[in-house]
């Protein structure tokens, strides 16, 4: 069983959880959204809207929450959701509550700040870490995600690897996740190569969603002369074919290194629908071995 929820006092989950939900016979993973705030302002994210207001989870009863998870034989907790967990004061200590009770902790983070020794230690103990990093082109990364530096990401990763090996005799499990857009596809193979050299064992290709709730975002960003990414499937014929080739090469490179590759649902489908518009009947397919859910 998995339990999904926001857990925030300010922003309730769509299906609020009761104590009975946490006291089931067994819970594999609890998804705990620590915050809906973020320290970045990506040019494809609704957090870039000037009126966006997020909220933080109230950790004042974390002891009780941890004990309930232990009673439910919870295997793991994902201590992140839409926002950036590492913005929260003492977030590393909250992770320690779970870890010290035998509950594995995982996180999705942008690694945008240089972590303290305590934060590095918490991350070194994690079951797995997903890092949001769209490209290893340093200037493009700054243009798209706007408040992050590639050097900081790589530095943090090496510090975590060192701490994990020296103190816990293990290697951290890193998953690199990019939001697949027209801007990042030309250098996807470089992205994979840098990831492999940095100890990444899984690569996730994320689907850029056209969210109607913030359709005004491109117009607002255009006033700032910001770089605005597009879904690959919105490219014209020749750039689209080039993007398909680049994706294929990057996936193949990762698989040759025995890394796990995950393509989020919707990417291949939209690309193929676009190819049909150009009269191309041969569908785009991912190489054998990619972890793509069937429909």
Q: What is the per-residue pLDDT across 137-173, written as a single tens digit (0 to 9) for each? A: 999 999 998 889 999 999 999 999 999 999 999 999 9
**What is the domain range of residue 264?**
2-277
Write the CATH number for 131: 3.20.20.70
pLDDT of res. 50: 74
Instruction: Tell whether 9 is covered by a domain.
Output: yes
Calpha distance 50→295 (Å, rounded): 37
Instruction: Tell whether 197 is covered by a domain.
Output: yes
Instruction: Tell whether 295 is covered by a domain.
Output: no
Residue 27 has pLDDT above 80, yes or no: no
pLDDT of res. 67: 92
Distances (CA, A) of 198 to 98, 115, 119, 122, 189: 27, 17, 19, 19, 14
Backbone angles phi, psi at 262, to 5 degrees: -125, 125
Mean pLDDT is highest, among 6-10, 71-75, 222-226, 261-265, for: 261-265
Instruction: Tell whether 74 is covered by a domain.
Output: yes
Instruction: Tell whether 180 is covered by a domain.
Output: yes
Instruction: Tell whether 219 is covered by a domain.
Output: yes
DSSP 184-221: TGGGHHHHHHHHHHTTEEEEEEEEPP--GGGTTHHHHH
Looking at the structure of the chain, the number of domains it has is 1
Question: Over the stretch 98-117, which tens digit does the pLDDT of each residue have?
Answer: 999 999 999 999 999 999 99
* Residue 224 pLDDT grade (very low, low, confident, very high; cuts 50, 70, 90): confident
pLDDT of res. 216: 72
Of the two residues 89 and 295, the one the predictor is more confident about is 89
Question: Over the stretch 54-93, which tens digit does the pLDDT of each residue have?
Answer: 888 999 899 999 999 998 889 999 999 889 999 999 999 9
Give bridge partners of residue 2 from the DSSP assignment.
29
pLDDT of res. 293: 44
Instruction: Tell whether 287 is covered by a domain.
Output: no
Q: 26-35, 102-111, 201-210: which range is least confident on average?
A: 26-35
Q: Running DSSP on this structure, what letter comes out for residue 180? A: E
- For residue 42, give the 3-state DSSP assignment: coil
pLDDT of res. 211: 57
Instruction: Tell whether 292 is covered by a domain.
Output: no
Residue 292 has pLDDT above 60, yes or no: no
DSSP run (H or E) holding 92 = helix 91-100
Residue 259 has pLDDT above 80, yes or no: yes
Distance of CA 33 to the CA centre of its chain: 13
The number of residues making up the chain comes to 295
Sheet holding 104-109, edge to edge: 2-5, 29-32, 76-78, 104-109, 128-132, 174-180, 200-207, 260-263
pLDDT of res. 12: 35
Tell me the mean pLDDT in the region 239-252: 96
Q: Among 291, 167, 186, 169, which Cα is nearest to 235's? A: 186
Asked whether the whole model's pTM tops 0.75, one would answer: yes
């Amino acid at each position: 069983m998995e339990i999904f929820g926001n857990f925030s006092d300010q922003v309730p989950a769509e299906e609020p959880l009761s104590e009975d939900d946490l006291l089931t016979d067994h819970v594999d993973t609890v998804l705990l959204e620590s915050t809906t705030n973020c320290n970045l302002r990506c040019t494809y994210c609704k957090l870039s809207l000037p009126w966006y207001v997020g909220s933080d989870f109230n950790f004042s009863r974390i002891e009780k929450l941890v004990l309930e998870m232990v009673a439910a034989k919870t295997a793991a907790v994902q201590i992140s959701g839409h926002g950036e967990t590492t913005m929260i004061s003492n977030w590393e200590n909250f992770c320690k509550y779970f870890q010290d009770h035998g509950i594995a902790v995982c996180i999705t983070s942008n690694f945008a700040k240089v972590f303290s020794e305590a934060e590095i230690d918490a991350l070194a103990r994690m079951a797995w870490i997903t890092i949001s990093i769209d490209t290893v082109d340093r200037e493009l990364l700054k243009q798209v995600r706007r408040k992050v530096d590639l050097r900081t990401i790589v530095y943090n990763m090496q510090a975590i690897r060192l701490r994990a090996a020296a103190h816990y005799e293990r290697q951290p499990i890193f998953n690199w996740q990019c939001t697949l857009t027209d801007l990042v596809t030309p250098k996807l193979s470089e992205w994979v190569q840098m990831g492999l050299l940095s100890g990444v064992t899984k690569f996730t290709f994320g689907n850029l969603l056209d969210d109607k709730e913030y359709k005004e975002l491109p117009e607002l960003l255009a006033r700032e002369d910001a770089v605005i990414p597009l879904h690959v499937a919105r490219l014209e014929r020749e750039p689209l074919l080039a993007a398909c080739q680049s994706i294929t090469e990057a996936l193949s490179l990762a698989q040759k290194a025995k890394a796990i590759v995950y393509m989020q649902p919707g990417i291949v489908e939209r690309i193929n629908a676009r190819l049909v518009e150009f009269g191309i009947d041969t569908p785009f397919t991912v190489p054998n071995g990619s972890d793509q859910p069937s429909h």
